[in-house]
Amino acid sequence: MTQVKRIAGGQIDRTRTLHFSFDGQSLTGHPGDTLASALLANNIRLMGRSFKYHRPRGVFSAGSEEPNALVELRPGARQEPNTRATVAELFDGLTAQSQNRWPNLRFDALSINDRLNAFFTAGFYYKTFMWPAVFWEKLYEPIIRRAAGLGSLSRLDDPDSYDKGFLHCDLLIIGAGPAGLMAALTAGRSGARVILADEDFRMGGRLNAETYGIGDQAGADWAALVLEELATLPSVRLMSRTTILGAFDHGIFSAVERVSDHLAVPLPGKPRQTLWRIYAKRSINAGGATERPIAFENNDRPGIMLAGALRAYANRWGVSVGDRIAVFTNNDDGLRTALDLQAKGVDVVAVIDPRKDGALLPGIRHLRGATVVDTAGRLGLTSITVRLGNGKAETLAVSALGVSGGWNPNLNITSHHRSRPVWNADITAFVPGADGPPGLTSAGAASGAMSTHAALATGQAQALSVLQALGFAHRTDVLPKAEDAPLNLLPLWYAPGGEGRAWIDQQNDVTVKDIKLAHQENMVSVEHMKRYTTLGMATDQGKTGNVLGLALMAELTGQSIPETGTTIYRPPYTPVALGALAGRARGQDFKPLRLTPSHHWAKEQGATFVEVGYWLRTQWLPRPGETTWRQSVDREVLATRKSVGICDVTTLGKIDIQGTDAGAFLDRVYANTFSTLPVGKCRYGLMLREDGMVFDDGTTARLAPHEYVMTTTTANAVAVFRHLEFCRQVLWPDMDVQLISTTEAWAQYSVAGPNARKLLEKIVDQDISDTALPYMGCGAVTIGGLRARIFRISFSGELAYEIAVPTRYGDGLIRRLVAEGAAFEAVVYGTEALGVMRVEKGHVAGNELNGQSTALNMGLGKMVSRKKDSIGMPLSQREAMVAEDGYRLVGVMPVDKTAALSAGSHLLDVGAEPVAANDGGWLTSMVWSPHLGSLIALAYLKAGDQKLGQRMRAVNFMTKQDTLVEIVSPQFIDPQGDRLRG
């Protein structure tokens, strides 16, 4: 069996044969085919199963509105569920399989649901499965969930890459049918920057599927010529295989270009898809229209499809879906299907036309005043039952039926800003509302202009008005001649038959009965109806069914359609791969990496790194023989406290603050005072948020009378800078203050420990003795003539300095420090050892700076000067925030030094019930102090300053730890600070 349904004509390349498979069956097609057209050419009508009833389903449309022919495309990790066969471009080697069926497509066990349809009405599940209560999670829901969904993901990482980009244009034209092409030609010829985007791989829209001409050419040939000219215009960008997904504010559109989906595998380096963000000054929706069906019993069988699709398969793809076909249409457009197929030699058994009046088609059995009321054929259509104008029923043997209930303008994108479509009685359809996205207009069938002539005319007119608005010189070309026939539509939504089901939403199995039940239960507002019946919730987003459902509800309530309501669409226009929306940001590229100046050196040393924001910092540096991280960290801590340790602290934010008001400015943004700080000195600063909570901390140095450098925490560097700019520009706009970040400009290392000075003396050119550079001193120095900065500050509690050189010398400096440090058995320590030492010293860090704590909580209440106004000072004085029994920072040590302790444990009084009322506080940070030979922790404890020396329990229910602890000062070592000043 090879393509037995091919007939003459079409825009396929018959000189080349493509091999593909469906459910394991090897088949052939041609370039230009979609998977759907190729399957139909091979006489395969059954392609899928519906969601709820597992009804056999075939192709319903010839475009992206397809509800039924959904397949899993491609094998392995590239498996792509729910792919519409109607838009999947055929390529050599394509593999597809049917989905939502078991064990196979022809015999699907869950088609039992179809037999039980009397129970599975709209919303039945809301009324049952409630008893007994535990059965929901244990029994009912697992069964429902197992049956859920359509296609499946492979669970393997997507092997393809995705890209993103940004485009700018004067005019974005959505859709390259007659209206879009005419608009693009008009605008492009005038020199405007135009993007013409179309979801199809072949531009031309309906012109590719129709036999009528434009001017004296076939429509498709006219389209090809226009495209040829457009391609020569430098300001026009043609984007086929590109779907405009959404209209966002101020002329921003998202679009996905399917770069490689027509290939088995993307070419090397090429993305599978590209997400474009398009900035458009103006836009025209020329997205055409979507045909809608008429509901009648068993209108969902494979072989029944939209009339326009039936003739598209014949005209564009050279496929006759059936040998004996019929057409059921309430409008003249549907008649074209019968005429086109008849002209191609297909046996047109009858045209069933509910309209009583009007001319009869020549040479075709044209049944006026008739409707289709039932069909037969388990896995594919075999016959239809027609109710004739005289009321009698007649059964006709047919294998394909084209149905046309009219055309709905594709106004989807015009309602993305929640503009409501407007009912147009002339064409019996909704058209775009006037309050759509500013700058977006519609042309052609999308605007309700249904003839080809009207499409060309409105496309041109809309483009001209855009050109005028944007100030482009333009001319009005004479339009080529094109058909301008009216639809002559007789509204008909539902052709009642007997007691059977008539489908409205094919994928979700919403039938006329469901709409009736929704009405009976007072779910009559459009939103209630949709949500109750699931109408329009399927992957086709109701493109073919929504208006039908609305019209039926209108009939039931006795209201007009516009009175009943409208339905708006949300982005995206068609479902879009999440990979495309993510673009390049995945895996290691999820976020940029920031590397420290010592990174390359540390990597050579086999360091373990840790993510700190976007930074990678050295966590610890294992030495040969060390098998656990604790061994390395303990060594780093002990060696630092004993002799000297080196740590890269470049990641801390550094902000240069200059200007004659710099000191006064700092007094406003810090809770404590900086204007009095002498030049050449540093001071620890505490920064509050306006709500009085601690925002950030760090040391700030005065380098010159009008020049300070502020240090922030790594985590808050960006937020602090933003805040300072707010204070500078918005609160005190006349202060003479200039800000610039210098975080990246300096490689900065902490050198800490009793031998820190001795080590640095070997490196720094200047005198850095205690006299020359006392505790909290700072200044410019040189290293072998190289400009450098030194700050005598300490986070570890040891005699310590931070030494900074221009970043490009950072690698050289760490190597130099290590080399010179060898004499002192210096170590390089990472963030773990840093954390241990700061906890030992009782310094707050990220775990304590949690945004929920005051200076008072941290034991730093005295730093908040109330003699001056500063950010956060006023609100920090609220009653609960200065309460005496509030949280205070304390130290915690287990009474038994071998006992376990963990951060996040809560503190309870000994003997107290473990309930919230007795919750005393919690352990914020916990480390093993090799120095003390014990686990130690910092904690926020209610009235903690009054509880020093008391015993409490540190309870962690997660690890079942309940440890007796002693509350101590948070400064575990050197509370007097002798070491600092050493």
Minimum CB–partner distance for residue 611 and another protein (Å): 6
Q: Which is nearer to another protein, 40 or 778 (CB)?
A: 778
Q: Should residue 500 be labelled a site residue for another protein when binding is judged by CB under 8 A?
A: no
Residue from 131, 357, 362, 960 binding another protein (CB under 8 A) = 131
Contact segment (CB under 8 A) with another protein among 53-61, 459-467, 516-524, 771-779 equals 516-524
Q: Which is nearer to another protein, 356 or 722 (CB)?
A: 722
Q: Should residue 252 be labelled a site residue for another protein when binding is judged by CB under 8 A?
A: yes
Q: Should residue 153 be labelled a site residue for another protein when binding is judged by CB under 8 A?
A: yes
Residue from 851, 933, 975, 977 binding another protein (CB under 8 A) = 851
Edge-to-edge strands of the sheet including 645-648?
778-783, 786-791, 800-806, 746-752, 645-648, 827-828
Structure tokens at 339: 């005429």
Contact segment (CB under 8 A) with another protein among 313-321, 346-354, 389-397, 717-725 equals 717-725
Minimum CB–partner distance for residue 116 and another protein (Å): 8
Residue from 811, 962, 966, 974 binding another protein (CB under 8 A) = 811
Contact indicator for 27, 109 with CB cutoff of 8 Å: no
Minimum CB–partner distance for residue 449 and another protein (Å): 27
Q: Which is nearer to another protein, 347 or 656 (CB)?
A: 656
Q: Give 688's strand partners.
A: 694
Q: Should residue 271 be labelled a site residue for another protein when binding is judged by CB under 8 A?
A: yes
The residues, any chain, with a CB within 8 Å of residue 448's CB and separated by 6 or more, are: 409, 424, 426, 427, 429, 431
Minimum CB–partner distance for residue 301 and another protein (Å): 22
Q: Should residue 479 be labelled a site residue for another protein when binding is judged by CB under 8 A?
A: no
Residue from 126, 475, 498, 558 binding another protein (CB under 8 A) = 126
Residue from 33, 89, 160, 374 binding another protein (CB under 8 A) = 160
User: Which residue type sits at 378?
Assistant: R
DSSP code of residue 455: H
Residue from 575, 754, 861, 982 binding another protein (CB under 8 A) = 575
Q: Should residue 163 be labelled a site residue for another protein when binding is judged by CB under 8 A?
A: yes
Q: Should residue 521 be labelled a site residue for another protein when binding is judged by CB under 8 A?
A: yes
User: Which residue type sits at 596?
Assistant: T
Structure tokens at 678: 């002498």
Contact indicator for 659, 733 with CB cutoff of 8 Å: no
Residue from 216, 228, 734, 885 binding another protein (CB under 8 A) = 734
Helix (H) or strand (E) holding 409: strand 407-409
Q: How far apart are CA 485 and CA 481, in angstroms?
A: 12
Q: How far apart are CA 92 and CA 263, in angstroms?
A: 8
Contact segment (CB under 8 A) with another protein among 344-352, 401-409, 484-492, 568-576 equals 568-576
User: Which residue type sits at 373?
Assistant: V
Q: Should residue 960 be labelled a site residue for another protein when binding is judged by CB under 8 A?
A: no
Q: How far apart are CA 377 and CA 63, in angstroms?
A: 25
Q: Should residue 581 be labelled a site residue for another protein when binding is judged by CB under 8 A?
A: yes
Residue from 150, 238, 350, 677 binding another protein (CB under 8 A) = 150
Contact indicator for 419, 435 with CB cutoff of 8 Å: yes
Q: Should residue 740 be labelled a site residue for another protein when binding is judged by CB under 8 A?
A: yes
The residues, any chain, with a CB within 8 Å of residue 214's CB and separated by 6 or more, are: 178, 207, 222, 452, 456, 480, 481, 482
Minimum CB–partner distance for residue 66 and another protein (Å): 13
Count the alpha carbons within 13 Å of 544 in the hemisphere toward its beta carbon: 34
DSSP code of residue 399: S
DSSP code per residue over 53-94: S--EE----SSTT-SS-EEEESSGGG-EEEEETTTPBP-TTE
Contact segment (CB under 8 A) with another protein among 296-304, 360-368, 867-875, 928-936 equals 867-875
Q: Should residue 680 be labelled a site residue for another protein when binding is judged by CB under 8 A?
A: no
Pattern 50-89, another protein, x by CB under 8 A: -x-------------------------xxxxxx-------
Q: Should residue 379 be labelled a site residue for another protein when binding is judged by CB under 8 A?
A: no
Residue from 479, 490, 638, 875 binding another protein (CB under 8 A) = 875
Q: Should residue 478 be labelled a site residue for another protein when binding is judged by CB under 8 A?
A: no
Q: Which is nearer to another protein, 118 or 478 (CB)?
A: 118
What is the CB neighbour count within 10 angstroms for residue 475? Answer: 9
Residue from 262, 368, 642, 689 binding another protein (CB under 8 A) = 689
Contact indicator for 859, 970 with CB cutoff of 8 Å: yes
Residues 606-645 interacting with another protein (rule: CB under 8 A): 610-611, 614-615
How far, in whole angstroms, is CA 475 from its chain's centroid? 42
Residue from 8, 103, 127, 478 binding another protein (CB under 8 A) = 127
Structure tokens at 816: 């130099």
Category of 58 on φ-ψ map: left (φ > 0), alpha (ψ -120 to 50) or beta = beta
